Amino acid sequence: MTAHPIPMLGRPVVRVAEVGSTNDLARLLAAGGVSEGAVVVAARQTRGRGRFGRTWTSPPGGLWCSLLLRPDADAEWGLLSLAVAVAVAETVDRVAGVRSVIRWPNDVLIGTGKVAGILVEAVPGAAILGVGINADIDLHGLPDDLRTPATSLAAAAGRPVVLSTLLDVLLDRCAWWYAAWTRRDPAVAAGWSARDATRGTLVHVHGPEGMLEGVAEGIDTDGALLLRARGGGTRRIVAGDVTLSFGN
Ligand code: BTN
């Protein structure tokens, strides 16, 4: 059996006061040959982006960062963003003393409020894991047309959050779950499923095939969402955005 040691993440940590997107800076580092484990952290992003090209508002007070990984080319990529979601959810729980849940594929929620989002981008020879955590931001300064109402760690915990501690916990949890994903540990799917926010509920999925409605039945072994459609039969969804049928 091949050993998969837990990697060191956060060597180096590249800190910037402001950047368009930390994912873009991490891409540049990847193209320049920087090795696995480098992390870019920005106090503020001017062009932060979310999944499907959405804008990710990134004022001071949040943790906006991107991890540079160099996974095996033949790895099961579909589960990587789910593994990172579990790492982020555990980070949120430890820092805010809550029990967060995950909405497929990788939105981390406290109750019905989104506290963190993840954007995984593949570049030649590397994967960039962009993580945005609303640590202690002004929630009133966010756009009102958000798909899901936002919350913050500070609001949930009722106290301020120390960003350096948050980053340390995040890197520790990401290293652990990245190693689990690398050795194809079924704990990744199990860890994700234990936090599944939508299993058994009626959801809408907005994806490349348009809008689908059905009851979420959890995830397949490769991380695809299983959706039982109204007419019967289960569909496998590999890309899309989930909204609950009532509210958020
Ligand atoms: C989403 O929920 O749509 C994903 C949001 C990901 C935001 C993070 S913040 C750090 C990194 N840089 C970006 O531009 N995006 C990700």
Instruction: Give pLDDT tens digits for 100-116.
Output: 999 999 999 999 999 99
51 lines ligand 1 (CB under 6 A): yes
Residue 41: predicted pLDDT: 98
What's the pLDDT band for 1 if we cut at 50, 70, 90?
very low
Query: Which one, of 88, 72, 3, 71, lies nearest residue 36 by Cα?
Result: 71
DSSP at 139: G
The distance of Cα 141 from the centroid of its chain, to the nearest Å, equals 22
**At residue 214, what are phi and psi to the nearest 5 degrees?**
180, 180
d(CA 136, CA 152): 6
State the distance from the centre of ligand 1 to the C-alpha of 23, rounded, in angstroms: 8
Q: Provide Rg for the chain, Cα atoms.
A: 17
Atom nearest to 54 CA in ligand 1: 3
In a domain, 210, yes or no: yes
Residue 215 maps to which CATH number? 2.30.30.100
Rounded-to-integer distance, Cα 124 and Cα 99, Å:
36
pLDDT at 248 over 70: no
- What's the pLDDT at 3? 64
Residues 95/164, Cβ–Cβ less than 8 Å: no
Highest mean pLDDT among 37-51, 133-147, 204-218: 37-51
Q: Are 136 and 61 in contact (CB under 8 A)?
A: yes
pLDDT reading at 247 higher than 60: no
Backbone angles phi, psi at 167, to 5 degrees: -65, -40
Judged on CB neighbours under 10 Å (0-12, 13-18, 19+), 233 is exposed
- Please indicate, yes or no, whether residues 183 and 235 belong to a single structural domain of this protein: no
Tokens of 63: 């943790």
Domain of 38, in residue numbers: 13-193
Rounded to an integer, what distance in angstroms lies between the CA atom of residue 222 and that of residue 242? 18
Do 115 and 94 lie in one domain? The reply is yes
Q: Would residue 1 count as lying in a domain?
A: no
Task: Looking at the structure, tell me whether residues 185 and 206 fall in a common domain.
Answer: no
Could you tell me if the CB of 27 is within 6 A of ligand 1? Answer: no
Give yes or no for residue 171 having a pLDDT over 90.
yes
- The answer to whether residue 92 sits within a structural domain is yes
Q: Are residues 235 and 143 in the same domain?
A: no
Q: Which of 175, 193, 211 is the last residue of a domain?
A: 193
β partners of residue 207: 210
The reply to whether 56 and 100 lie within a common domain is: yes
Domain match, 186 and 86 both: yes
Buried b / exposed e over 132-171, threshold 16 CB at 10 Å, is: bbbbbbeeeeeeeeeebebbbbbbbbeeebebeebbebbb
Establish whether residue 62 lines the binding site of ligand 1, counting it when its CB lies within 6 angstroms of any ligand atom.
no
